[in-house]
Amino acid sequence: MKLYRKTIAAALCAGGLGLAMGAYAQPAPGGMQGGPEHMRMHGGHHGGGGEMRGLRALNLSEAQRDQIFKIHHDQAPAFRDQMKKVRASREELQKLARADKFDQAAVRRAADTQAKAISEMAVMRVQAQNQVRAVLTPEQKAKLDQMRQERESRRSQGQGPR
């Protein structure tokens, strides 16, 4: 059960990358977030977390937003493939748990497959974050780092994410 919880947590965190594409978009004039075109581009989902959430406050240029969108868009197919592997291995583990006879070797193979897919998603997420940082100006990076430190400080004080 502990492995299942860790898998879900890792998949949800990593899944934030795919949803984060809409999180960094700046509000359109008049305070509306993009409108119908924005919703179509991002599937109506807004979310994400960590570093991607903070990009909204950085006053990104149109060129920067385009570059960041491309980073996430280019990575999406590989990320989806890894998610499919996570799901398939989770289903295999569930099937093995229901089996009449325990097959440790098969369980280990499925668990290793799942762990490798989750690990690959973490690498992809960090790679995308690094590529996004490369798009930012030194001032934007400093502001992003400051916001991250403030968020971590609030979490350590028990105030939760903001």
Render pLDDT for 78-108 as a digit per residue (tens, 0 to 9). 999 999 999 999 999 999 999 999 999 999 9
Question: Between these two residues, 29 and 53, which has the higher pLDDT value?
Answer: 53
Cα 98 to Cα 8, 10, 27, 111, 115, distances in angstroms: 19, 24, 49, 15, 21
User: Is 90 contained in some domain?
Assistant: yes
- pLDDT higher than threshold 50 for residue 3: yes
Q: Measuring CA to CA, which residue among 62, 59, 75, 57 is closest to residue 16?
A: 75
User: Is 161 contained in some domain?
Assistant: no
Q: Give the CATH number, domain containing residue 102.
A: 1.20.120.1490
User: Is 81 contained in some domain?
Assistant: yes
Alpha helices in 55-137 (DSSP H): 62-98, 104-135
Give the pLDDT score at 100. 95
Per the structure, the count of domains in the chain is 1
| Unique residue bearing structure tokens 């989806």 | 80
Kindly provide the b/e burial profile for residues 81-118, where b requires at least 16 CB atoms within 10 angstroms of the residue's own CB. ebbebbeebbebbeebeeeeeeeeeebeebbebbbebb
Query: pLDDT tens, 107-134?
Result: 999 999 999 999 999 999 999 999 999 9
Mean pLDDT of the chain: 76
User: Is 84 contained in some domain?
Assistant: yes
Q: State what percent of residues in the chain have pLDDT above 70.
A: 64
Give the pLDDT score at 162. 54
| Tokens read off for 54 | 């903070």
Domain region containing 23? 2-156
Give the pLDDT score at 56. 80
Q: Cβ–Cβ contacts within 10 Å for residue 60, how many?
A: 20
* pTM of the predicted structure, to 2 decimals: 0.60
Span 4-19, average pLDDT: 49
- pLDDT higher than threshold 90 for residue 26: no
User: Is 162 contained in some domain?
Assistant: no
User: Is 34 contained in some domain?
Assistant: yes
Span 3-32, average pLDDT: 45
CA dihedral 64, 73, 162, 38 (to 10 degrees): 80
User: Is 73 contained in some domain?
Assistant: yes
